[in-house]
Structure 1
Amino acid sequence: MRQVIGAATETLVAAGVASPRVDAELLLAHVLAVPRSRLLLIDDVAAEQAVRHAALVARRAAREPLQHLTGLAHFRTVELAVGPGVFVPRPETELLAGWAVDAALLVTDRQPVVVDLCTGSGAIAKAVAAEVPEARVVAVELDPQAAGWATRNLSGTGVDLRVGDMASAADDLAGEVDVVVCNPPYIPWEAWESVALEARDHDPDLALYSGDDGLDAMRVLERTAARLLRRGGVVGAEHAEVQHEAAPEVFRSAGRWLAVRDHPDLTGRARFLTARLG
């Protein structure tokens, strides 16, 4: 087994994969249908399994997302089916989801209402529904293919999935929402070449790019959140590190938000903003 993982790791290192050893082990665990933590208990890998593993490693070396190869993404306490046509949820977005969970838990005098805009795979909505089961959770996704993945992931969770534009898909909830959360597209078109190959070649453009400055969707979100939230309700949205001033300014300049602030991820990089409707 060590030889199999070692050879795979070398292949992934040469290909520039960010976490070669981890990916090699996760792919082998997938082939063997065991948790990664149990690999140390396995001495030998059958020839057929080694061939399957090598094929997956070659695809990963070509920068196909790990989650597409395993068909699964882990996000906080939930698992998500992912593949071509849907944005693969990133670990850093778990902090935004955690903020939404905490904000929903602060609503104790009624059923909290949470709307997840640009839900993609349904990651944030599913996490909130799992961790705040008393909440009413609504998820919105524009892309039909991504919505298909969200339908699969949100089945049985009680989340109300709406397929449509975030600007209008939840108009029936105007003034009734406690928490709006969103991981919108935020990459400027001109930054295309700097995007990691896994995202650039495999994530949907609709989930990545948002106008010349990357903030077109953020501006729509600001207006939508203002319409959906109760007075005193809160909004949280992810953004790029370089937008740590520009993204919050979208909300500050609107003149209707209080306590606009930015939050770092676990590496200290600016990651998401929050604001309260005045």
Structure 2
Amino acid sequence: MSDYQPRPPGGWPAQPPQSSGGGQGDGFAQPGYGQQGGGYGQQGGYGSRGRVARPRRRRRGWVVLTVILVMIVAILAIGDQIAKGIAENQIAQKIETSGLNTKPSVGIEGWPFLTQLAAKDIKAIDINASNVKTGQFEITSIKARATGVHLSSLSANASARIDQINGTATISYQSLANDLGNAINLPGVSSIGSIAPDPSAGPDAVKVDLGGLASVDATVKQTAPNKITIHFGALGGIASLLGGAGTIQDQVITIPPLPAGLVVRSVAVEPQGIVATASATNTTLSQ
């Protein structure tokens, strides 16, 4: 007999499903790649070719680089401040030895300082001094601002050319009263009570209270490039009897050499005291 069997009507019977594992025997399906069983799926950080993705290491590298850059900037900033502090101290010493007899505080404007130093051009320098003695009197404050400072070199002995410098020297009324009490040597008057502007008597007039005994008018004028003269009027009342001649001798205040060749241009009676305004152009720091 022949083994040939004709195809029955309706087609061949359905065959059992084939294994997804690629044809392994016994009809059991094997868990393949990409399924959730014991095979290797795409979970757990593996890519399509089984390689580990490393985005965290890249981010960590940027963080390290940022920290390094911040540290470099911080070191440069600290170095800049140290260099500026040294320069400010040297300028203060030069001003002190040039005749001010008081070491001022000096502030260099602008950041970074090292770039200005490398260019030998400093934008601005602020100079301040307090309680500067000059003979029997004391100047309460000296303030100056120099702009356009050009260094001759980067050495410690370099000179500095200044385009413009403006400043003021102020004598407070309280300081002036204390000093006048010791200077006028008027019998019966051991101290000055107060000094205040007297606009009714003129823009340069002040009213001087002689410790309650009387008051006297005085005028404040610039009588020389570096001198301020206080001229007193006639005394009246009890003070005139005690004073004999009835007048107080004029008092002269000598302004010490101001920083960087500042020249007093005017003297005014202001609410805060007697103010001398000074300026200079194309001068040097050591003048």
Q: Per the shorter chain, which TM-score range?
A: under 0.3
**Which has the larger strand fraction?**
2
TM-score by length of 2: 0.27
